[in-house]
Amino acid sequence: MFLVTGANGQLGTALQSLLKDKAVYIDREELDLTDETAVKNYLAANPFDFIINCAAYTAVDRAEADEENAHKVNALAPLYLAKYGKRIIHISTDYVFDGTSCKPYNEDDTTHPVSVYGKTKREGEQNVLENADTAIVIRTAWLYSPHGGNFVKTMRKLGAEKESLNVVFDQVGTPTNAYDLAEAIVKALPQIKSGEKEIYHFTDEGICSWYDFAREIMEQSKLRCKVSPIESKDYPTPAHRPHYSVLNKAKIKQRFNLEIPHWKEGLVKCLKQF
């Protein structure tokens, strides 16, 4: 039996559709993951074969002014889950990198987060690897699904309301359908070896800018909204974002024998679910 935390989020919801009754699903209402005693007692009373930790503080801009809570959720909660659950898949982010590279990031490239969100997520990675007996950290990027708040839903909403939109073109990465990541996790689970401690990268295939992504969303959604490219400096945000955060997926594909769809295919699948 597995435990999925953050079960009502984008990835957690996708995992529910795949794992069904093979897992227990909890969100913050069922268990406060930032309360060490509560986590210890819960996992002592309910031992699991594996924990899949999808819980995270993902409000990137809000985290700049709310570092304490971001740290609790992104760094301390993974520590407690790893310490008392012992076997864990932990979801992390491309934001652990600064985005100054010009080639896709490998798992062993030096991390250098430039936001509170990125810093707390990196600490969460370290806590998991240091405290679990078996630990798989999966970094992903630009996650979206029909559930929760995300770029696809925002663009579709604005595209239906407005005649034109400006979207940054100088931030490059890879959109990732949460269901594609969920499928990869489910396929990897039975292949994980006891005592294995590794970091892997997973996104859909291909690369694009947020501008390219917005254009594709409008086109596939048959919305007439015009999308124009702007630079990040023309759309200032509290948190600094990496300009290039493409992740190299060769390691996870080889290790778990995965075939990963292109991001445009992932978008087609997502839009059919709306």
CA dist 76 to 32, 81, 121, Å? 11, 9, 10
Between CA 161 and CA 139 the distance in angstroms is 34
Catalytic residue among 84, 117, 144, 200: 117
Token pair of 74 as six digits: 């992104």
Neighbouring C-alpha atoms within 13 Å toward the C-beta of 192: 26
Neighbouring C-alpha atoms within 13 Å toward the C-beta of 273: 16
**117 belongs to the catalytic site:** yes
Between CA 243 and CA 32 the distance in angstroms is 34
Q: 3 near 31, Cβ under 8 Å?
A: no
Sheet holding 50-53, edge to edge: 23-26, 2-5, 50-53, 87-93, 134-140, 197-201
Which residue in the block uniquely carries the two structure tokens 């700049």? 64
Neighbouring C-alpha atoms within 13 Å toward the C-beta of 129: 14
User: What is the Rg, in whole angstroms, of the alpha carbon atoms belonging to the chain?
Assistant: 18
Q: Residue 114 — φ and ψ, nearest 5°?
A: -115, 15
Pairing relationship of beta strands 134-140 and 87-93 according to DSSP bridges: parallel
Pairing relationship of beta strands 208-209 and 172-173 according to DSSP bridges: antiparallel
Q: Which residues are catalytic?
A: 117
